[in-house]
Amino acid sequence: MNMYSYEAYKTDNQNDQKVFDVNNQNKLELEQSKSISTTQKRADFESSVFSALVIQNLFILMMICFGLFTNMQFWLVDQPSDIIDFCYCGFGNTYQCQDECVYSQDEQNYPKPIALFYCSLIIGLIMHIWLNVGLAQIQKQHFLIILLYLAILCLFYIFTLTTFSILIAYTLGVQLIFLSWIIDFVFIFCIAFYTTRTKTQVNYKVGTIFIFIPTLLFLIIYISIYPDSALYICLDCFIVAIHEYFIIAEIIRFRNKEEFTSSILDIMIGSSLLFGSINQCVISLIELCQGFLKKSI
């Protein structure tokens, strides 16, 4: 009787252990499935954001060209009378090629930004900060209100960036603008293509490949064409590479935010935050300083 009881108890224990193992296995599979699903959703979000950035960068190029070569320029800068309109050097200071573009070598006569630029810079920065701080409240608004908000933010950022481009073109050379844009565009297009085809998330290893190869390629091409401006070209490529690493860091930071999903609105918001990367850089530095302060207290 005792032997029978022991065998029955042993059998029951084995059955319980099997049931426990099966339950653990099911929980593990469920967690793995959720993890895979979450990773897939984040990868879809990132590929959609970078695809949107491809379109936005083409729009930036169009607006910069309008600013450089049409009367839109006079909305943003005050043009000195001794500089020929829409005439730029490739690289270097405008006054180094005065036979082509300027009548006077007076360096006081640089183009200066006017009121629209300052309004765009200040209002755009405020709106960008609110998009970061009040993201949860903004997502609750009506679709058309959010769309209007993002459109205005995009417009102000474009005015700001176009003004910077005009000033750089007149003072340092127009080729710096196009070199920066083409490297940035190739990087964003490659990331968008990679994430769309592989359905994987961006990381620093992949990002470094897509930063290093195009930057090195265009660095060699431009230095071979403009050997006297090698310093300008190297500095420009270095700044662009830092900007691209910042974009990777930001998309990785967005990955940990539960507010972002794969909805169209969240994709538009995410791309708008990266689109205004100058403002976003300032905000990220502020958040980084706040994090250090909290840790030190």
pLDDT digits (tens, 9 = 90+) for 63-83: 999 988 888 888 888 877 666
Q: What is the pLDDT of residue 179?
A: 92
Token pair belonging to 163 = 């003004």
Classify residue 91 by its DSSP letter. S
Share of the chain above pLDDT 70, in %: 70
Q: Which band of pLDDT confidence, cut at 50, 70 and 90, is reported for residue 294?
A: low
197-203 mean pLDDT: 86
The rounded distance, in Å, linking the Cα atoms of 41 and 39 is 5
pLDDT given at position 259: 63
CA-to-CA separations, 34 to 195, 201, 202, 262, in angstroms, rounded: 20, 16, 20, 16
Structural tokens at position 31: 């967690």
Q: Are 88 and 67 in contact (CB under 8 A)?
A: no
Q: What is the Cα gyration radius of the chain?
A: 27
Contact 267, 45 (CB under 8 A): yes
The per-residue b/e assignment along 153-184, b for 16 or more CB within 10 angstroms, e otherwise, is: bbebbbbbbbbbbbbbbbbbbbbbbbbbbbbb
Q: What is the pLDDT of residues 160-191, one digit of tens each?
A: 889 988 888 888 888 889 999 999 999 999 99
Q: What is the pLDDT of residues 206-235, one digit of tens each?
A: 899 999 999 999 999 999 988 888 888 999
User: What mean pLDDT is reported for the chain?
Assistant: 77
Question: What confidence tens digit (pLDDT) does each residue in 230-270 have?
Answer: 888 999 899 889 888 888 888 888 777 766 677 788 888 88
Q: Give per-residue pLDDT as tens, 113-123.
A: 888 889 988 88
Q: What is the pTM of this model?
A: 0.77
Indicate the helix (H) or strand (E) that contains 77: strand 77-78
Helix (H, G, I), strand (E, B) or coil at 15: helix
Residue 199 backbone zone (phi > 0: left; psi -120 to 50: alpha; other: beta): left
Contact 113, 161 (CB under 8 A): no
3-state secondary structure at position 81: coil
What does the angle CA 134 – CA 288 – CA 122 come to, to the nearest 5 degrees? Answer: 50
Report the pLDDT averaged over residues 42-68.
Answer: 88
**Cα(288)–Cα(292) distance, rounded to whole angstroms?**
6
| DSSP codes, 164-196 | HHHHHHHHT-HHHHHHHHHHHHHHHHHHHHHHH
Amino acid, res. 108: Q
pLDDT of res. 132: 78
pLDDT above 80 (res 45): yes
Give the span between the Cα atoms of 222 and 236, in whole angstroms. Answer: 11
The number of beta carbons lying within 10 Å of the beta carbon of residue 68 is 19
Q: Does the pLDDT of residue 146 top 90, yes or no?
A: no
